[in-house]
Structure 1
Amino acid sequence: MGTALLRTLCADGGHELVGVGRREPDAASAPYRSASWHAVDIAAPDATVDLRSAFEGCDAVVHLAWVIQPNHHEEELRRVNVDGSARVFDAAAQAGVKHLVYASSVGAYSPGPKDRRVDESWPTGGLHTSHYSRQKADVERILDRFEADHPEIAVARLRPGLIFQSGQASEVGRFFLGRFIPQQVARVRVPVLPMPPGMVFQAVHAEDAADAYARVLAARARGAFNIAAEPLLDPQTLPPVLGAQRSVPIPTAALRPGDRGATS
């Protein structure tokens, strides 16, 4: 997601970009060469100091950092995802940043209906059976308190569905199939796609999600935004779209400043 957003902001032009990561990328290659880089591990207890230094003079901070593995080390994940997010938010406030954009997820939502759509006002209590969902919900609560304490800062939360893009296959395969499933097996096309009857989800292409982030930044928008593409994916609609390279672009009207309605 960070790489896709860099590409989008570079195409827009006129931005001075600062990148923060635990490991610095190859700053000589595109699109990474468009940003100045700071190596900061947000899980470190003293990371707030380094983050504040990186954020000095910035108009906006987009917080995208998140880890989902190793699954069996939940406390390790929490140090990055929850504690690290709190450090990012605190550092942004200390540096005088005026716009904070957080990469939340549809995974933050409490269980909802499968036969109708809900908007961004649906509770974000997460699913107790998923550490990913629990931690996304925990960060939403931290952000609630942050907004109350810092009304002068515009806070936006983007809650995308599953994000995919070309070239991501091996990474996605490790996430969903595990590191011990041979990639040759994962690439085999099967005539029947087994799916639970009640399985319903949404997805979005990384470039379209990046477009959403860029629009939120341009408008200094506040509030929560669901970011997903049509069609809704279920056992009937998923097989025909598996070969698609791009999702439906996000409509311009979907991201009006302060609009909290459901978007696609």
Structure 2
Amino acid sequence: MNKLLINIFLVFLMAVNISFAKIVTDDPIEQAAIEALLKDAKLGWNEIKLTKNLIVEGRRNGILLVHRKGRDKRWKITNISDKRIYFDIKGNVIAINLNNTKFKNLSLINSFKSLIHFSCKCRSLKEFKKIEGLVSLEGLDFHLSKITKIGVLKNLPKLILLDLERTYISKIENLDGIPSLKFLMLKGTDIRKLEGLDSLINLEVLSLDASNDSDRKIIKIENIGNLENLKNWKLDFIKLKS
């Protein structure tokens, strides 16, 4: 009987943990968005780590640096740990990492208006329709996801990094709305024709090194000569037609 009561109590505790959210921000919109993120990623509050009181200060190789309040050690905001949400000293969400989760609904991040970096290396992530209005966003990392198409990227004036390496992207599109982009990572995708880069006037680094499979190598490059700021690019191609 006692064992049965213990089991019932444990089930009750689990239900309470799932049903009642942990209040992590004073902003009701961000609080609701965090709850929705965790639900979509099938994560409990005990499975996500929260890092607060971060200060954004300085850059290294073009990437913003952050450090904990009262500590000197700085690191790139792109080097964030798995399953973690980062807050600045004002309590705003500035970085989210949902790597290795079951996250699918990318539109949920549109609620985080102070978001600087988002990483989701998830095999469950297969598409995104639109990311817009995130005026502080600088980095999107979808490395190793199953995304097949680049969705609409709109009103992202500070976006400098887009990582789609090892995804199933076969065509470059919808990049005309992000002329601020400096780092475009497309290594190991299904892209065979490199086009649609004309508007990326600030692009500095382009990674598009295909696999050894001849069916996945680049066969055509268009207008790459227009990218005057391009400093680092590596391409694996069969026949160049520029």
Structure with a larger share of its residues in helix:
1
Larger Rg: 2
Structure with a larger share of its residues in strand:
2
Answer 1 or 2: higher relative contact order, Cα 8 Å, separation at least 6: 1
